[in-house]
Amino acid sequence: MIFDLHGFGPALLAGALMTIKLALCALSLGLVLGLLGALAKTSPYKPLQWLGGSYSTLVRGVPELLWVLLIYFGTVNLMRSIGEALGQPDLALNAFAAGTIALGLCFGAYATEVFRGAILAIPKGHREAGQALGLSVPRIFWRLILPQMWRIALPGLGNLFMILMKDTALVSVIGLEEIMRRAQIAVTASKEPFTFFLVAAFIYLGLTIFAMIGMHFLEKRASRGFVRSAS
Amino acid sequence: MNWEIIVKYLPKLLEGAWLTLELVAIAVLAGLILALPMGIARASRHWYVRALPYGYIFFFRGTPLLVQLFLVYYGVAQFDVVRQGPLWPYLRDPYWCAILTMTLHTAAYIAEILRGAIQAVPPGEIEAARALGMSRAQAMFYIILPRAARIGLPAYSNEVILMLKASALASTVTLLELTGMSRTIIARTYLPVEIFFAAGIFYLVIAYVMVRAFKLLERRLRVDACQGR
């Protein structure tokens, strides 16, 4: 080991695990939100279009850090009143839940645009073919549009996931014990800020490389049976 | 919703918004200057020219801005050389640390945008410039860069908006920009929803104005006319 970690190695690894967990939870929430947003934005109903559009515009225009803080500190009163109604007066969002919601919300807003692009990229004839076969609207989406969407949306989603992974560092601000928070704790004990923040940086780099490799395989799998266009 | 509180603290929030604008403006301009040589080197045909900017870009795009900010603000103090060096008064100041980090961070992204833009310049135009007897440097300055600037401008405007949002991180090193100011106000008033709401509106308005301004600039530079290749 080049770096003397003063025995904080396992703590940092636990932090990395927490970061991965947070990223995956936020990803799941974000994918659902993004899909709903894209469906709303491409639907023929004006109010739904407006809803999807304002979701993606509003969320994308406000910093991720502000969302994290707003959801963590801003929901205290709301959660308390819900808790009182349920008979549990000290109900509150913990840092993990708040981080998941905030990051999922931000991921979903960007994913809305990615999914929308993918939906629009599917030839109209496929939908019409489904209608001609007498498939219902949900079935057309589930069986025809969604499987084809993945292939087109995957590169965009991959980029968003890399951004999401780096944004998990923001949740350290509200005290979740992920990589950054663990590094900060190690810094207070060891007085070696450069060493530990650099190690944290390398862990993030490692995670990014890992995600890149994963994306490569997913993309390869999603585009099987398709000839790569010559470009 | 307690509107009076928002109105009462509006001047404070405006002050924070001004610092946010200042940070973003300096970072994206200094980042552009830093990114120019890097983007050109990154688009080079020789691997040894590409390698160094590639490593730089990989590091700064692969790690969170928060880590970079802490590395600069808390990290460099670990070395006595820095603490006794002439730059210490600046590196001790959160303002300069935030500007330095944001500049280095955004430069990596802008360099990558620039590389894409340079490589998207139609080869025929470069060949035409060379055929007219321009040297490589002349072709770069009179043909490739002006053309790449127009190709890369929409991506650059996206990067500016991303930096506007990234500037919220400066609040973690005690700077009182829009987010930092909101947090201090909340520490005094205990009204997180109202104040964060107001701050969010500020960010939205700033982002909207920036998008409009870039659209105007795109029209002035006739970007759409250049896209039709």
Residue range of the domain that includes B216:
3-227
Q: A interface mutation test: which of B56, B63, B159 has the most A CBs within 10 A?
A: B63
Residue A23 domain-assigned (yes or no): yes
Share of chain B above pLDDT 90, in %: 77
Rounded Cα gap, residues B23 and B156, in angstroms: 17
Q: How confident is the model at residue A231 (pLDDT cuts 50, 70, 90)?
A: very low
Rounded Cα gap, residues A209 and A158, in angstroms: 12
Residue A188 domain-assigned (yes or no): no
- Structure confidence at residue A2 (pLDDT): 61
| Shortest CA distance from A201: residue in chain B | B63
C-alpha A197 chain-centroid distance: 24
Average pLDDT over residues B50-74: 94
Q: Do A69 and B183 touch (CB under 8 A)?
A: yes
How many domains does chain A divide into? 1
Average pLDDT over residues A148-163: 91
Question: Which chain B residues touch A187 with a CB distance below 8 Å?
Answer: 74
Among B158, B46, B25, residue whose Cα is nearest residue B99: B25
| CATH code of the domain containing A91 | 1.10.3720.10
Rounded Cα gap, residues A30 and A168, in angstroms: 13
| CATH code of the domain containing B11 | 1.10.3720.10
H helices within chain B, ranges in order? Answer: 3-8, 10-42, 47-62, 65-73, 80-84, 88-91, 94-120, 123-131, 136-138, 145-166, 178-189, 192-220, 223-227
Q: Does A197 contact B at CB distance below 8 Å? A: yes
Ramachandran region, residue A6 (left: φ > 0; alpha: ψ -120 to 50; beta: rest): left
Question: Which chain A residues touch B64 with a CB distance below 8 Å?
Answer: 166-170, 180, 204
- Structure confidence at residue B226 (pLDDT): 64
Rounded Cα gap, residues A208 and B86, in angstroms: 36
How many domains does chain B divide into? 1
pLDDT, one tens digit per residue, over A116-151 is 999 999 998 999 999 999 999 899 989 889 888 888
Residue A58 domain-assigned (yes or no): yes
Among A200, A148, A171, residue whose Cα is nearest residue A16: A200
Residue range of the domain that includes A127:
17-176
Selecting from B70, B78, B200 the residue whose C-beta is nearest the C-beta of A66 gives B200
Handedness of CA A12, A18, A21, A27 (dihedral sign): negative
Question: Which chain A residues touch B67 with a CB distance below 8 Å?
Answer: 169, 180, 197, 200-201, 204
- Structure confidence at residue B97 (pLDDT): 94
Question: Which chain A residues touch B203 with a CB distance below 8 Å?
Answer: 61-63, 66
Q: A interface mutation test: which of B70, B71, B163 has the most A CBs within 10 A?
A: B70
pLDDT, one tens digit per residue, over B106-148 is 999 999 999 999 999 999 999 999 999 999 999 999 999 999 9
Average pLDDT over residues B30-42: 94
* pTM for the full predicted model: 0.89
